[in-house]
Amino acid sequence: MKTNVGIEKSGRRPFGALFKSTTREWSLINRIIKNKASYVLIAPYFILFFVFTVLPVAMSMTLSFTSFNVLEPPKFIGWGNYIRLFLNDDIFRIAIKNTLIFAVITGPISYLMCLLFAWIINEFKGKIRAFITLIFYAPSISGNAYVVWNLILRGDKYGILNGILLRLDLIDNAIIWMKTEKYVLMFLIIVQLWLSLGTGFLTFIAGLQTIDKTLYESAAIDGIKNRWQELWYITLPSMKPQLLFGAVMQITQSFAVADISVNLAGNPSVNYAGTTIVTHLMDYGSIRYEMGYASAIATVLFILMVGSNKAVQRLLRKVGT
């Protein structure tokens, strides 16, 4: 099994070679036969993965060039959906702007929050450490508990934020926070950040544990003065794989904001201040049944998510090299 490793790495074969039974092709077939058990083991997962993930992405891209309402067969309309999306759909332009603002702010900030809190938590031990981890992680798994922010952000004097500000005489009248255009996005970002210490956060906590403690000792001898230098010169470079994985987790979720917008700002929100690409997609996919158009929105979302992930991966890989 291990003896043939070199073959696959030896570069691409010319296309014609596929039809000639050279020794190389035979050894490939041999390897496939020899690894029969591997294929049997991966089959259940990858069949389902293909049906429910790969195929849908391909279908979504194909459908994005059609007009399709589920009842009639899809009709090819070329770039029509995309032209409508970018030139004639004002709400989509707001959605894309909001989503980008969201991603550009919550992505990096949540990433740094995960890292910072994990780094501080790493100074604690045992039960206290487990407890602090729980406090910070709990919001991300607490289901719809974020609707409690509705109480905090309520528009009348019963709202907690209004109550505090009124008592401090900072405002004269209660502010209807989630119905005032200029506040909507800001509060959605705060709630999203509150929810964002998820898998990436746990990864960083775990990653910090694995760093060789003796590295810090030798660093102290080499003249590392304080914990900031330690962080920069030793800790971060040592946990690069975790940093890459955490970035994927945080970036992906920063583009997918929808539920909190619908539940806190309403759908549609005031002047579409809380509309995101995903809420727009839900609007066309599950309410208006314009599946071709919804697929075009989904494809734009896909490209944005994967593209920014790839770009950030490239950037992070450069760190420390």
> Site for another protein (CB under 8 A): which residue of 136, 177, 187, 272?
136
Contact 205, 195 (CB under 8 A): no
52 binds another protein (CB under 8 A): yes
Instruction: Give the nearer residue to another protein in terms of CB position, either 121 or 271.
Output: 121
> Site for another protein (CB under 8 A): which residue of 26, 217, 288, 315?
217
226 binds another protein (CB under 8 A): yes
Alpha-carbon distance of 178 to 274, in angstroms, equals 9
Alpha-carbon distance of 289 to 248, in angstroms, equals 31
314 binds another protein (CB under 8 A): no
How many C-beta atoms surround the C-beta of residue 306 within 10 A? 14
Q: Where are the beta strands (DSSP E) in 191-287?
A: none
Instruction: Give the nearer residue to another protein in terms of CB position, either 181 or 232.
Output: 232
Shortest distance, position 31 Cβ to another protein, whole Å: 6
Instruction: Give the nearer residue to another protein in terms of CB position, either 67 or 313.
Output: 313
Alpha-carbon distance of 183 to 61, in angstroms, equals 35
How many C-beta atoms surround the C-beta of residue 106 within 10 A? 25
- Binding segment for another protein (CB under 8 A), chosen from 12-20, 43-51, 82-90, 179-187, is 43-51
Torsion over CA: 17, 18, 23, 25 (sign)? positive
Instruction: Give the nearer residue to another protein in terms of CB position, either 145 or 315.
Output: 145
Shortest distance, position 109 Cβ to another protein, whole Å: 13
> Site for another protein (CB under 8 A): which residue of 18, 55, 104, 186?
55
Instruction: Give the nearer residue to another protein in terms of CB position, either 29 or 181.
Output: 29
151-210 residues in contact with another protein (CB under 8 A) are 151-152, 157-158, 160, 163, 167, 194, 197, 199, 202-203, 205-207, 209-210
Shortest distance, position 133 Cβ to another protein, whole Å: 7
Residue written as tokens 């995903």?
278
32 binds another protein (CB under 8 A): yes
74-103 residues in contact with another protein (CB under 8 A) are none
Shortest distance, position 182 Cβ to another protein, whole Å: 23
Alpha-carbon distance of 95 to 319, in angstroms, equals 33
Q: Where are the beta strands (DSSP E) in the chain?
A: 66-67, 75-76
Shortest distance, position 116 Cβ to another protein, whole Å: 9
Phi (first) and psi of residue 75, to 5 degrees: -115, 125
106 binds another protein (CB under 8 A): no
What residues form DSSP beta bridges with 75? Answer: 67
Contact 256, 110 (CB under 8 A): no
Phi (first) and psi of residue 66, to 5 degrees: -130, 165
Alpha-carbon distance of 198 to 181, in angstroms, equals 29
Contact 243, 320 (CB under 8 A): no
How many CA atoms are closer than 13 Å to the CA of 131, on its beta-carbon side?
A: 5
- Binding segment for another protein (CB under 8 A), chosen from 85-93, 100-108, 113-121, 180-188, is 113-121
# residues near another protein by CB under 8 A: 116
265-304 residues in contact with another protein (CB under 8 A) are 278, 281-282, 285-286, 291, 294-295, 298-299, 301-302
261 binds another protein (CB under 8 A): no
